[in-house]
Amino acid sequence: MLRMLAYYWLPGDNDDQEHPNAFEVIHGGHGVKLKDIKAAFPLPGQYHFRFKMKWESGAVWMDVTNEDSMVPMFEDKVIAKVLRVNWGKLQMPRQPASDVPSASPDTSPMASGDSEDLLFGDSPAPPSQAARPSGKDDFDMLFG
């Protein structure tokens, strides 16, 4: 196994392309694959990688999305512009409705028959669903 540095910058984090960050990548010796980059990338979350490569007389950024593809090199270095897709927060699994505690009838804000709008305080509540014709939604009411 071989080790090399991969250089990267995140434009959305105000990183400077002229002073990139770096991390170590371990690869099999036949080039660095996208899956090697993703496995070693030091930041949590999901990212999209663009790699700098020579094209004719200049440089371009190439998107690599296939995990088994070799990433391009530029001047014998891996240089990536990294775009954050998400921070990688774990979402809590939704509980089935039967497991969600419900308010008892005597403590429910609507139990007393108040028409108070719970989101905006004492503004009038929107018309109830029962007032609409069966099978009609707001779109149907406006354009139907």
| pLDDT 10s digits, 30-50 | 889 999 999 999 999 999 999
Token pair 């108070």 in the structure block, residue = 116
CATH of the domain at 39: 2.40.240.130
With respect to residue 26, please indicate whether it lies within any of the assigned structural domains. Answer: yes
pLDDT digits (tens, 9 = 90+) for 92-138: 555 555 554 444 444 434 444 444 433 334 444 444 444 444 554 44
Query: Which residue would you say has higher pLDDT here, 77 or 109?
Result: 77
Position 89 pLDDT exceeds 70: no
In a domain, 45, yes or no: yes
Name the strand (E) or helix (H) holding 85.
Answer: strand 78-86
Q: Report yes or no: 121 and 49 within 8 Å, Cβ to Cβ.
A: no
Of 30, 47, 41, 46, residue with least CA distance to 7: 41
pLDDT classification of 12: cutoffs 50, 70, 90: confident
Supply the pTM of this predicted model.
0.60
Please check whether residue 110 lies inside any domain of the structure.
no
- Residue 55 included in any domain: yes
Instruction: Domain count for the chain, please give it.
Output: 1
**Biggest distance spanned by C-alpha atoms of the chain:** 76
- Specify the 3-state DSSP secondary structure of 99: helix
pLDDT of residue 88: 79
In a domain, 143, yes or no: no
